[in-house]
Amino acid sequence: MDKITPVIIYAPGLGRQDANTADGVAEVLARAIDRREDPRTCSTKSDSTVLAPKGLKVAKTIVDDKDQALIQLFELDYAGRLDKTSGTAGPPAPPGIVQSTKYTVFAAGLLAWAWRRPAKRFMTKVQLWLGFVALLALILAWLVALYAALISAGLDLPKPIGGLFGEDAAGWTFGISGTAAVVTWAVVRRKALALAATIQHLIDYTRNSERLRDTVCLTVDDAIAGLLDDGWKGDIHLLGYSFGSLVLYDAAFPHPSAQKRSEPFNKAASLVTVGCPLDLVRLYNKDYTNGRHARKSGLLWRNIYNAADVFGSNLQDENDVTDGKSEAASLRAFEPESTRYLQERLTLVQLLMGGGFRMHAGYWGAAEEAHCFENILDLWLPA
């Protein structure tokens, strides 16, 4: 492997879809390069000679028809640092019913306080509120159903729990409704708890609970420093999706308390964020982006968003639609330029159907599908 080859470090979101991997991105980019007016025919391959430094996982290499490497993909391995360290009771457990309820109620309460802040428009705030309410309702329904199933089975529960619905409550009625709800919960449980876990990670990370944000961002420094130590001399580009893009933002423009210097981040050539939840964070924490500095002066920052994506950001105030240079006071100095992907908007129908959440996974998919990278290919590989 020629180590003057450009490198893309991909910071994935928290989801586990095949597309949300550096290998998935490599396939999409290779097919996109192959389609443009370029004499080269592109494909991907796994190169066993490429080793991953600390903080990275080796992904596929994009090569031309002469087997010459065009772009090397790596995946930022920050997930292991996202969970809090083990306590006296052992390693952290995945969120259960009680923990999920706590974080969902907390997030809904914070949104009530942030309702008038400008980082998101009214329709997006309503979609977020409905999402929290739906998740809470689902958890509550399951708890009631579990109680009902125990009552219908004839178990003698201690008071006041046992007499919660009165002495004459029909056991068979509880049994039917309870069984149906428990079966329904079994179907949606994983998605509900995954959403609750995402809320938990986002809250703990943005609050820098137990130095969590600073610890996760060290992964970026370790990755870039490791590439340089291994002799890589090509441009190092950063690409983040969803939560991963928030990690890259915090690494590139650290909070004043992080006290980070330029090196090794000064070697980064560009930053691309896709579906970045920064406006959502600004909605909850109005001071989150204040007082930050750029570790590399003039770092090229391109941001891609879908106006119908509740989590995505256009880095503007008062609206979720306008693209171009950011006018938000705390971001303007870093000159991020946002590009709108697709002409979708969050409508009333989408709001009621939860469309704003589903749109978040719609920036790219399989290699043969349309994607959001067409306008930034030249940033990584000039035609």
- Domain ranges in the chain are 7-82+209-343+363-380, 97-206
Give the whole-angstrom CA distance, residue 173 versus residue 99.
30
> Whole-angstrom Cα distance, residue 141 to residue 334?
46
Q: In terms of Cα–Cα distance, which of 290, 291, 293, 289 is closest to 280? A: 289
Residue with tokens 């729990």: 161
* Long-range contacts (CB closer than 8 Å, 24 or more residues apart) made by 35-41: 36/377, 36/383, 37/383, 38/383, 40/64, 40/65, 40/70, 41/65
Top mean pLDDT of 70-74, 81-85, 262-266 is at: 70-74
Q: How does 118-134 read in b/e, with b if 16+ C-beta sit within 10 Å?
A: ebbbebbbbbbeebbee
Which amino acid appears at position 47 of this protein? Answer: D
Give the pLDDT confidence score for residue 88 in this predicted structure.
41
Query: In this predicted model, what pLDDT tens digit does every residue of 10-68 receive, in sequence order?
Result: 999 988 888 999 999 999 999 999 888 666 688 999 988 898 888 899 999 999 988 99
Q: Pull the structure tokens for residue 97.
A: 């019913």
Model pLDDT for residues 140-186, shown as the tens digit of each residue: 666 666 666 666 666 666 665 555 555 555 454 455 555 555 555 55
d(CA 82, CA 95): 14
Whole-Å CA distances, 104 to 177, 208, 217: 25, 18, 25
CA distances from 297 to 252, 255, 289 (A): 10, 16, 17
The number of beta carbons lying within 10 Å of the beta carbon of residue 39 is: 6
HSE-up (13 A, CA, CB side) for residue 151: 26
Residue indicated by tokens 């994506």: 309
Q: For residues 264 and 157, which has the higher predicted lDDT (pLDDT)? A: 264
Q: What is the CATH number of domain 7-82+209-343+363-380?
A: 3.40.50
**Tokens 């993909």 correspond to what residue?**
73
The token pair that represents 203 in the structure block: 């809250």
Q: Is the pLDDT of residue 285 over 70?
A: yes
Largest CA distance in the chain: 80
Structure tokens, 81: 């640092």
Q: How confident is the model at residue 190 (pLDDT cuts 50, 70, 90)?
A: low
Both tokens of 62, joined, read 């994009």
Sign of the C-alpha dihedral computed for residues 196, 202, 329 and 325 taken in this order: negative
With vertex at residue 338, the alpha carbon angle to CA 334 and CA 343, rounded to the nearest 5 degrees, is 170
Using the predicted structure, report yes or no on whether residue 193 has a pLDDT greater than 80. no
* Site of tokens 């910071």: 11
Q: Would the CA dihedral through 314, 318, 322, 325 be positive or negative?
A: negative
For 215-240, the pLDDT digits (tens) are 999 999 999 999 999 999 999 999 99
What does the block give as tokens for 255?
Answer: 């909070």
- Tokens found for residue 207: 């609050």
